[in-house]
Structure 1
Amino acid sequence: MNSQTHETRSALDTQPALTVHDLTRSYGDAANPVRALNGIDLTIPTGSFIAVMGPSGSGKSTFLNCAAGLERPDGGRVLIGMDDVTDWSESQRTKLRRDRIGIVFQDFHLMPYLTAEQNVGLPRRLAGGRVDKQLVRDLLGRVGLAERRGHLPGQLSGGQQQRVAIARALVSRPAVLLADEPTGALDSSSAREILELMRDSVNELGQTVVIVTHDPVAASYADSVVFLVDGRVAGRMDRPDADAVASQMAHLDDLVMAGAAS
């Protein structure tokens, strides 16, 4: 690699993977809007693992949907790397999700007529690329489903379907993985394996992982935890451990009051 290429790659590596600025999103009619996001500013460094936490209704899933281009914000900007994707067309945002963003949904979104192996390889087929069958099988092995790769979703438990969805999100080696409660349907052992897989994708592949979770143990795998309350960033904790996260979740009102006073 020549020095110019090295300098270019180094510059790219220092760019944030995901940035949102003054992000707002409301639902309902104009007379009685429900504000889900209320001016969020957040920068996610490249090659980091971030957990987003907060009470129900705090805007966590809406934040992920806006970041992934699944919903358009009412105001503010969304940048993936150096690209401002806020006003991109639907076809551009679809290509973005196909090529650069992996998404794990709470309700899995698996194709019922495809096997686990076919579901995992589907993003590559949709992109018109070659499916790396060995990579697909390796990922299924990593999530503990090597022996179930020929099963349809209806033949799998909820937890097994979740693991297929996670393997599918990783198969394109996305720059950013966005996951909504990725361990919510899993037992503690399976959850630990999935979180270790995500941790490895950050440490070994330089991917960026952002998860929404209610679980302090899941959050403890992250580099930082961002706390949302009422559609706003209420606080942040670096190098979290499960007990500290649980304590902070029990005292979110203190974060809100501190933010209002500052």
Structure 2
Amino acid sequence: MTRAPDGGKTTRQLFREGMRDGTPIALGYLVVSFTLGITAHNAGLDALQGFIASFFNLASAGEYAAFTVIAADAPYWEMAAITLVANARYMLMSCVLSQKFSPATPFYHRLGVGFGVTDEIFGISISRQGFLQPAYNYGAMALAVPVWALGTSLGIVAGDVLPPSLLSALSVALYGMFIAIIIPPGKENKIVLGLVFISFAMSFLAANLPLVSELSGSSRTIILTLLISGAAAWRFPLREVAEEDS
């Protein structure tokens, strides 16, 4: 049992703490990934394919985009591009988490923790005091990652047995999840709220205007994401406030 420099806690204790904090995350993931499984079922994936896709993606928006591209029979480059755009924030989260590790942390541990970076796991990890220990993240991932993948498989299996009317209702739940993600920051920041409505309007226009509407849905999403996020970053940059020494 290896000692870890986290208040004298052992690796096993840190792993258990990660599992404890990861339990509510895993329960939430089961519900969300189940609705993603409905989308994967509509795209023609079986339970095993859905499990593998979710296990190695771990991103609701990224997976939804990928499953939508698969359903549209779009080319691989579109799937790669839209998944990269949808999941780009995880690269930034990984960079932040890398600053929480001790300089002596081996690269393979950094790589392992990076594999399991999600919004929720990032949240519980960044709130830890002192250096971040990989054992804690592995504990959280040990539950959250397989449960996320399992939920997708269960959604696909449900798609084979549930009536179409119920499947249609369950599919709407995923859109409800996305709305729940954008409403809280929109209430706190009017700029974010404005950008959300601009995105709605531009998406509608892109789907109906000549020439642009002839592009696939995933291509329009990639173009609009890059244009709107780039313009927002240029027009409304976040200013870092330097902390004054007391």
- Pairwise TM-score range, normalised by the shorter structure: under 0.3
TM-score after normalising by structure 2:
0.28
Structure in which a larger fraction of residues adopt strand: 1
Mark the structure with the bigger radius of gyration: 2
Structure in which a larger fraction of residues adopt helix: 2
Q: Which has the higher contact order (CA 8 A, sep 6+)?
A: 2
